[in-house]
Structure 1
Amino acid sequence: IEGGPDQDITDHAEEGSDTAKALASMKQREPSFEVGGFLSGARSAYEFILMGFERGELAEIKPYISDEVYEVFAQVVEAREKKGLKVEAEFIGVREVSIHSAEFHAASGTAEIAMKFIGELTSVVRDSTGEIVEGKEGKVKTQKDIWTFEREMGVNDPNWILVATGE
């Protein structure tokens, strides 16, 4: 309805909330931005980045994560390697994807969207002899994460970068 609430926003954030206002500001700065499309992309990015980290294949995910996140991931991967540990993980799926919060910084045009993910995967950690030291083969575990993605709105680069992880 012309002049009514933007359903692309209100489907994902409470009308009038700070998150909804931030999303509206993002759309004002970049009219082609769609919240629903962002959520779809974030879901794909979650699987791609999470599994790249689990496998220790950081080179393939580096373009999509900030230097700070990369450093943390690299330290964890390096510590695993020093201990001779190998992660075997399989992504099952995402049970929930929702916007946790959003901020828009008008002066810089920078947008931040914190996403809540509840994913399911199987994961075991093996030592250098192949013995399982963590996890149980074939057992699906639930992973809950809050990840924050950032990008400058209104520029040609459409990629969002993972700038923070947490739970």
Structure 2
Amino acid sequence: METIIILALVFFFVGLRLYSVLGKRTGHEQPIVKPVETKAVTALPRGMMDAKPDPAAAGEPTIDARARDGLRALVSADPQFDVARFLEGAQSAYRMILEAYWAGDEAALETLVDADVRAAFVDAIAERRAAGHVLDNRLVSIERAMIDAVRVDGQTATIVVRFDADIAAVTRDAEQNVIAGSVSDAVSTHDVWTFARSVRASDPNWILVETDEAA
């Protein structure tokens, strides 16, 4: 009988310890994420998260204060939208689009940008080839990706993202001689890219519709 009582007390004590550890949240836990299908990234995949904090809450360092009202409108129109996943995808798209342009890969650009942006890229690629120049560029790092503006017009949402990055930019001639840039020094670049998608579309991907340099 005494053995049973002792074991019961032990189980009770262990149960209290487990509750004290597992029954509390410390603020460092990751949000619960639903499984998503693994596939090749064609633009910017949306994250589908069970627990999403208010994306326009104060203290969010990746969103300009002027974009918060637009972001609330976007979340209202598309409750599945998640800021963190969007910015993660935006940075991936930034790298993929730049690398495709530098390599002159027009086919890759087809699925990443809209017709107007692709036409501008294709023209620049053609001029480069005609001059016999080859870009030997490398994206060293993306220092920051910040949402500058969000707008919802009817069923179309647009998000303006500012990218601050370091790029090693080198231009070579047909004989591989360096004619511009440096192979050892990275240049700070500041780009403003605009992405768009229909909030009613089943396709979760965002497409690049405009590029500009930051003021």
Secondary structure of 1:44's match? helix
Q: Taking structure 1 as the reference length, what is the TM-score of the superposition?
A: 0.89
Q: Equivalent residues in 2 for 1:14-33 (5 A)?
A: 14=65, 17=66, 19-33=67-81
Alpha-carbon offset, residue 37 of structure 1:
1.4
- 1:96-134, Cα deviation, whole Å (9 max, x unpaired): 1101111111x2x10111100011121210111222111
Distance 1:149 1:104 in 2: 12
8 Å contact kept, 1:43–1:94 = yes
Distance 1:20 1:137 in 2: 40
Distance 1:122 1:67 in 2: 28
Distance 2:149 2:201 in 1: 22
Is 2:167 the partner of 1:130? no
Which structure exhibits the higher relative contact order, with contacts defined as CA atoms closer than 8 Å and separated by 6 or more residues? 1
Secondary structure of 1:64's match? coil
Structure that is richer in strand per residue? 1
8 Å contact kept, 2:55–2:72 = no
Alpha-carbon offset, residue 13 of structure 1:
3.8
Structure 2 residue aligned with 1:84: 132
Distance 1:141 1:124 in 2: 10
Code of the residue aligned with 1:112 in structure 2: it is T
Secondary structure of 1:27's match? helix
Is 2:208 the partner of 1:162? yes
Distance 1:101 1:28 in 2: 16
Structure 2 residue aligned with 1:102: 150
8 Å contact kept, 1:84–1:128 = yes
Distance 1:94 1:13 in 2: 18
Is 2:99 the partner of 1:51? yes
Q: What's the % identity of the aligned pairs?
A: 27
Alpha-carbon offset, residue 41 of structure 1:
0.8
Distance 1:53 1:43 in 2: 15
Is 2:193 the partner of 1:147? yes
Distance 2:116 2:91 in 1: 21
Alpha-carbon offset, residue 61 of structure 1:
2.4
- 1:43-80, Cα deviation, whole Å (9 max, x unpaired): 11111111111111121121110100000000000000
Give the alignment partner of residue 120 of structure 1, picking from 156, 166, 174. Answer: 166
RMSD, matched Cα: 1.3
8 Å contact kept, 1:9–1:35 = no
8 Å contact kept, 1:65–1:162 = yes
Secondary structure of 2:205's match? coil
Distance 2:185 2:103 in 1: 18
Q: Taking structure 2 as the reference length, what is the TM-score of the superposition?
A: 0.70
How many residue pairs align between the two structures?
157
